[in-house]
Amino acid sequence: MLRMLLLATAIILIMDTVIKYCNLCSHFDGYSCLGGMKTCWKLDMLRHKKTCTTEHFYFYDILTGAHIFRYSKLSCKPCALGLFQVYHDLLRETYCCTDKSYCNDGTNRLDMSSIYFQDRKEEEKKE
């Protein structure tokens, strides 16, 4: 009986501190998950705790010269923070969150603007 009590206590402590739950979605359009939102879990015992991953994909628009948000992927795979150009017109921004469970909700993307628009704003300020 004492063993069962200790086992239950250990499981509760591990679930609160070591196991992190994340959202799992292969195509998140910014508002909802196409195909249904699922859950994945991961042991969070490493020194660099990079548990939940959000990958935002931006397509380059030739007419405006800006990267426009297309969709996101939410997962539990190992995370490498940063920007990566997948193809000539597709940019992937990877965001890692570690603070709590279900922290990759897809709303934590940075809005991107092009250098062209920034230059235009600076020219307008000078005039």
pLDDT at residue 98, rounded to an integer:
76
pLDDT at residue 48, rounded to an integer:
59
Q: How far apart are CA 107 and CA 40, in angstroms?
A: 18
pLDDT at residue 27, rounded to an integer:
92
Asked whether 28 and 78 are in contact (CB, 8 A), the reply is no
Label residue 49 exposed, middle or buried (CB < 10 Å: 0-12, 13-18, 19+): middle
Asked whether 109 and 69 are in contact (CB, 8 A), the reply is yes
Show pLDDT as tens, one digit a residue, over the chain (127 residues). Answer: 778 777 777 666 665 567 788 889 999 887 888 888 899 888 776 655 667 888 999 998 888 888 888 889 999 888 888 888 888 888 898 888 877 888 888 776 555 444 444 555 666 666 6
Q: How far apart are CA 4 and CA 63, in angstroms?
A: 65
Gyration radius from the chain CA atoms: 20
